[in-house]
A = this chain, B = another copy of it.
Amino acid sequence: MPYPEEAQGFMIDSPETWLSFQKRHYKLKPFEDYDVDVKVEACGICGSDVHTISGWGANQNWPLCIGHEIVGTAIKVGPKVTNVKVGQRVGVGAQVFSCGECKQCKNDNETYCPKIIMNTYGSKWPETGIISQGGYSSHVRAHEHWVFTIPEKLKTNSVAPMLCAGITAFSPLVRNGAGPSKKVGIVGMGGIGHFGIMFAKALGAETWAISRTRAKEADARKIGADGFIATCEEGWEKEHEFSFDLIVNCANSSKNFDLSKYLSMMDVHGRWVSVGLPEEEGQVIKAQNLISNGVLIGASHLGSRKEMIRMLNLAADKGLDSWVETIDINEENLKEAMQRMKKADIRYRFTLTGYDKAFPEA
């Protein structure tokens, strides 16, 4: 069946066949008063896309069409929608619904809603049991709260990854005071980290990139880093002791990670906020490791609608541009892209394009 009952997308059947994308039709949730239908034109490839189909996938609802850094055109809006008009260029990130009524939702913490979090893909819509499906597809349907008009100045292909990677970096920066007179570090110069550097600098903070080697130093400085720390160098942490107000940890691995050295760089009551979700076991933390500077350790999950709008406007105002490699969406390219993502062989994000060729009937 064609749209509007169904969408067509590239699906994975199980973690065992995580490189085997199958183009299929699947059912969309019933269209409701606050829904917006987006005809997809581009979609970033997120690290969690790869984790979901290859690593975290055991409890997923298979088969699954991943993708949650979506840009396209609003082609249909429900009668109660006020945020979006038909024909507008819009983005959809990693979440498409929350209860909207609880304390968290009313307090701009809708990505922490304890009642219901509908991820863009892989979640079960409560009333129908239909599984949400992502943006490696012809269409997505989302509640208007989770659909964002894109400022004219931003390019479709480079704004796509901001919808998840970008907001993931941006929210902890603004929630933890990144700005003038603050010293901010970004650990891990990958998809999320490169946004972290860009946004920390754009917000006015003294911005340090923290990476294992100096291989990405030139890139980091181009993006806006004021300084660069290579953790392969002996004594790297020494000159920064008690100095960082905030470090956003965007690393996607905690292997060989000596957390205590990183924490020793924090100012008193500085904050270490992780946004990566490594597949490895966690870190052993003793109160003793935290007590010399009273550092706070936390994690952050996406960002609110308000933050998303603020981020997009900041990017437009400052002319910020993601570093993306575009690749047309099809079975072979998806396989290759997933393999390169696994090896972190990308500077710094893939954006899937060529949707008109993949879905000519959409």
A interface list, Cβ under 8 A from B? 103-104, 107, 109, 112, 114, 175, 241-242, 268-269, 271, 274-278, 281-301
Contacts and interface: CB of A to CB of B under 8 A. Distances in A.
B288 A298 contact: no
B285 A283 contact: yes
Contact of A299 (B104, B241, B242, B290): B290
Given A277-B287, A282-B286, A287-B276, A297 B294 contact: no
B298 A292 contact: no
Nearest to A171: B294
A301 B277 CA distance: 30
B109 A268 contact: yes
Given A104-B242, A242-B114, A276-B287, A296 B271 contact: yes
Nearest to A288: B277
A303 to B, nearest CB: 11
Contact of A290 (B175, B284, B298): B298
Max chain B CB contacts within 10 Å: which of A277, A291, A298?
Answer: A298
A291 B285 contact: no
A191 B104 CA distance: 35
A292 B301 contact: yes
Contacts of A175: 269
A294 B301 contact: yes
A296 B297 contact: yes
A241 B271 CA distance: 24
Top 5 A-B pairs, shortest CB-CB distance: A282-B286, A290-B299, A296-B298, A274-B287, A296-B296
Given A271-B296, A274-B287, 6 more contacts: A104-B242, A109-B294, A114-B292, A114-B293, A290-B299, A296-B296
A291 B277 contact: yes
A291 B299 contact: yes
A284 B289 CA distance: 13
A294 B285 contact: no
Given A293-B112, A300-B291, A282 B282 contact: no
A297 B300 contact: no
Contacts of A289: 282
Contacts of A293: 112, 114
Contacts of A103: 242
A310 B282 CA distance: 39
Given A175-B269, A282-B285, A114 B290 contact: no
Contacts of A282: 284-289
A128 B103 CA distance: 58
A295 B274 CA distance: 11
A114 B290 CA distance: 14
A294 to B, nearest CB: 6
A33 to B, nearest CB: 28
A55 to B, nearest CB: 12
A295 B109 CA distance: 12
B276 A286 contact: no
Nearest to A283: B285
Nearest to A264: B114
Contact of A114 (B241, B276, B288): B241
A291 B301 contact: yes
A285 B286 contact: no
A107 B293 CA distance: 13
